[in-house]
Amino acid sequence: MKVRVLGCSGAIAQGCRTTSFLIDGRILIDAGTGVGDLTLEEMRQIDHVLLTHAHLDHVAALPLMLDAVSSLRSTPVRVHALPATIAALQAHIFNNTIWPDFSRIPNAANPFLAYQALHTGQMLQIAGLDIEVLPAIHTVPAVGYAVRGRTGWWAFSGDTGPNPAFWQRINQLPVAMLVIETAFSNTESALAQRSLHLAPHTLAQELAQLQPGKPCPIYITHTKPSETRLIVEELRHFDAITQPGGQAPHDIAWLQAGQEFEV
């Protein structure tokens, strides 16, 4: 399974694109601004979009991508999301004011967009891949995802604050790669807490819930561009500290748009 990082930033700036991952060329996990770097042909091949939640940095490119490729496709793009996320898209984006309702054009029987509701804990089979819907705790209804690859599971936290249920499930899966958000620096801990995001010190508390003997590469995503350098410094300091019980430091790295991984 090939995972291509289209965007992994918490906001836009030069060289910074918001969250989106392309799986095997046919599945998008979130549809942030990084989708705009795809060619028209690459966008045309995307059959499924799995959204973690309705916030703009995770859905911004979806209406524009549909507009770009709908005339080139013979089947609708299927958008998989929580019912609350689907309701938000219908009310606030595809509402014939902000953007046309692509779920009803060219007609309701043959639309450009088809919604597929999902729920936390559900196991999906999409484009030949097993995908599990993971719990997330955010300011709006949200989820993460785990996708089974050849060597194990690629797991993505989505946007989340402290989340014991996520770690309970991660500890049960053979995770080959973990992508987890750290949106704010420790200096913005109060804002991170209010907005239900992680900062380096809360990430440390979250990673402490990983069972011993379950090492896997951990990649940080969703850093705010204005704070990325500080977040990286704080995480490096944390990563250099030996973990309780004599465990080795976590294997932490930082995602960048354009990276590709085989899982």
Predicted pLDDT at 246: 45
pTM: predicted TM-score of the whole model, two decimal places: 0.95
pLDDT at 232 over 80: yes
Phi, psi of 126 (to 5 degrees): -130, 125
Predicted pLDDT at 239: 60
Three-state DSSP at 180 gives strand
Residues 6+ apart with CB under 8 A from 48: 26, 27, 28, 77, 78, 79, 80, 126, 127
Q: pLDDT class for 27, splitting at 50, 70, 90?
A: very high
pLDDT digits (tens, 9 = 90+) for 64-122: 999 999 999 999 999 999 999 999 999 999 999 999 999 999 999 999 999 999 999 99
DSSP assignment string, 107-168: ETTEESEEEEE--TT-EEEETTEEEEEEE---SSS-EEEEEE-SSSEEEE--S-SS-HHHHH
- Angle (CA) 54 144 17, round 5°: 60
pLDDT digits (tens, 9 = 90+) for 159-217: 999 999 999 999 999 999 999 999 999 999 999 999 999 999 999 999 989 988 777 89
- Burial of residue 137 (CB within 10 Å: 0-12, 13-18, 19+) is middle
The domains of the chain, with CATH numbers, are 2-256 (3.60.15.10)
